[in-house]
Amino acid sequence: MAPRTIKLNDGRQIPWIGFGTGTALFRKDATQLVVQAIDNGINHLDGAQVYRNEDTLGLAIKESGKPRSELFVTTKLNPGETVNIKGTLEESLRKLQLDHVDLFLVHSPHPANKEGKLQDVWRQMEEVQAAGLATSIGVSNFRVEDLEQILQTAKVVPAVNQIELHPYVWDTARSIVEFGNEHGILTASYGGLTPIVRAPGGPVDPVIASIRERIERTRGEPVSAGQVLTKWLLQKGAIVITTTSKVERIKEFLDAENLPDLEEKEILAIDNAGLKRHVRAFMHVVFGETK
């Protein structure tokens, strides 16, 4: 059964979970792992020009044998590109062996926001959509002020803002998520398992452990810490971009939506524990943070 979908502000549907070809696959051949993800039920594939592996993502789509209509494919604009956005997407489509992507994102507001070019970048994104090269358009790593800037002149409201989202960035992410909710911009998350994989041993760990035990008792079968964090993201209204080389982990991720809901007090406990530590793994330059 395909993962459930969420409706975007343009009326189209996006699967709640996507397989990312960045981070561990950055500048690497993604073919085998993408085929594996598709074979095991993930039909939303998240790429980017800067990952330098769109050609292998395209090969995987072809090798999977999955009809194009059953896949949701995202790519993202190279952060330095402000002049010929249509041309760069056409090049991406050649690599992907597709005639359109389902979602095209501005990968980063930087450096365009520092150069006063953000509104022009978004105008070009609207032209790309009008030309049929991208079904939906959106942004990534945008702060509230970046979103406000493009909304001043936008004819199309971004469908998605994909950001690093986990409890250890909730202090800065919360206002972005809430702004998105107010304007119909869906939040997509990446780096959601950072408290487990990049910053273990922090204040969130015992909170997740106790919630996991509670759900295991309720459900009567094992529940992982990763599933609890994924459920937290889902209940924040976010879609989840993740990656793994293991089939059992794919199945675990897909099963996270079937977990009983976290209680309101449990969500609050995760939020509050996250506020005790700040860990940003990506895009420090956008947020003016040092590593």
Choosing from 8, 14, 44, 51, which is the catalytic residue?
Answer: 51
HSE-up of residue 135 (Cα within 13 Å, Cβ side)? 18
- Residue 107 assigned as binding residue: yes
Separation of alpha carbons 238 and 257, rounded Å: 12
The answer to whether 51 is a known catalytic residue is yes
Helix ranges (H only) for the chain are 31-39, 54-64, 85-96, 118-130, 144-151, 170-183, 194-197, 204-219, 225-235, 247-255, 264-274, 284-287
HSE-CB at 1 with a 13 A cutoff on CA atoms is: 7
Exposure string (b/e) for 64-92, b if CB count within 10 Å is 16 or more? bebeeeebbbbbbbbbebbeebeebbeeb
List the one residue out of 225, 195, 200 whose CA is nearest residue 211: 225
Residue whose C-alpha is closest to residue 282's, from 128, 176, 168: 168
| Residues that constitute the known binding site | 107
Give the residue numbers marked as catalytic.
Answer: 51
| Residues that constitute the known binding site for substrate | 107
